[in-house]
């Protein structure tokens, strides 16, 4: 059973970014492989099951609208940070302000995690709307540098045109979530305590022979 459980991964992912950067487009593209032009202002949590390399992965994806004043919605914001195993932070390559907002979000996620005494959380930075290269105001190098200095992953994508790169975003994140979950040492349950106690006594008995 342990072997089977090791192949099951549950991942809570929060998608954040300023308005109109393509958060819903990206989420829906990953869930359905489709691009639907307009999505409305709905805050939703989607559940999506995929099997990759024999691993059964359940993504719970929280697509949430942006609130400029993070302090105004502190409780909800903290709730998201507590709930999340990982973040997808989206900006548009044609919108400098959305890129600056991602920089602020990284700092505020880190600060909230520290404040709540929680472990570091995996973050993927996504520059969307790569198809609008002629209107680009944020260089790829800037995204890459931000990721490098904040220990995040980085992708540039076009949610409007491409499924594969969106797939890479979520699967890159799941690998990191999996790694960070397996590195957390869980406190031994009662079974673990009984096991280690009996190991000590068995050793003693053998030692005294």
Ligand X SMILES: Nc1nc2c(ncn2[C@@H]2O[C@H](COP(=O)(O)OP(=O)(O)OP(=O)(O)O)[C@@H](O)[C@H]2O)c(=O)[nH]1
Inter-helix orientation angle 140-150/96-115, to 10°: 10
Q: Are 85 and 102 in contact (CB under 8 A)?
A: no
Name the token pair of 98: 């959305």
Is residue 81 part of the contact set for ligand X (CB under 6 A)? no
Cβ 176 to ligand X shortest distance, Å = 23
Nearer to ligand X (CB atom), residue 81 or residue 126: 126
Is residue 25 part of the contact set for ligand X (CB under 6 A)? yes
Is residue 168 part of the contact set for ligand X (CB under 6 A)? no
Locate tokens 């390399």: which residue? 53
Part of the chain binding ligand X (CB under 6 A), chosen from 33-41, 77-85, 140-148, 164-172: 33-41
Q: Give long-range contacts, CB 8 A cutoff, 24+ apart: 40-43.
A: 41/65
Nearer to ligand X (CB atom), residue 9 or residue 159: 159
Q: Is the dihedral of CA 25, 95, 43, 114 positive or negative?
A: positive
Q: Which residue is nearest to ligand X (CB)?
A: 22
C-alpha to C-alpha distances, 63 to 20, 91, 201, nearest whole angstrom: 13, 14, 52
Cβ 87 to ligand X shortest distance, Å = 14
Figure out which of the listed residues 23, 112, 138, 177 binds ligand X, where binding follows CB under 6 A.
Answer: 23
Part of the chain binding ligand X (CB under 6 A), chosen from 72-80, 116-124, 127-135, 195-203: 127-135
**Residues that contact ligand X, how many (by CB under 6 A):** 20
Which of the residues 144 through 163 are near ligand X (CB under 6 A)?
A: 158-160
Nearer to ligand X (CB atom), residue 3 or residue 37: 37
DSSP state of 187: P
Q: What are the residue ranges of helices labelled H in 8-135? A: 23-32, 74-83, 96-115
Q: Which residues bind ligand X (CB under 6 A)?
A: 17, 19-25, 37-39, 41, 65, 128-129, 131-132, 158-160
């Amino acid at each position: 059973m342990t072997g089977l459980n090791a192949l099951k991964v549950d991942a809570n992912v929060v998608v954040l970014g300023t308005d109109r950067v393509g958060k819903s487009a990206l989420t829906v593209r990953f869930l359905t492989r489709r691009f639907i032009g307009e999505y409305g202002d709905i805050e939703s949590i989607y559940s999506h099951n995929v099997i990759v390399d024999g691993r059964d992965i359940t993504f719970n994806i929280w697509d949430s609208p942006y609130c400029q004043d993070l302090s105004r919605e502190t409780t909800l914001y903290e709730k998201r940070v507590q709930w999340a195993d990982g973040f997808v932070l989206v900006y548009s390559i044609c919108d400098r302000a959305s890129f600056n907002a991602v920089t602020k979000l990284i700092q505020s996620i880190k600060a909230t995690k520290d404040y709540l005494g929680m472990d570091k959380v995996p973050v993927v930075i996504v520059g969307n709307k790569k198809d609008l290269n002629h209107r680009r105001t944020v260089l790829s190098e800037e995204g890459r540098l931000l990721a490098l200095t904040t220990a995040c992953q980085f992708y540039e994508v076009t949610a409007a045109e491409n499924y594969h790169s969106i797939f890479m975003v979520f699967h890159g994140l799941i690998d990191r979530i999996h790694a960070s979950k397996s590195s957390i040492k869980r406190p031994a349950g009662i079974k673990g305590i009984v096991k280690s106690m009996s190991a000590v006594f068995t050793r003693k008995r053998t030692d005294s022979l």
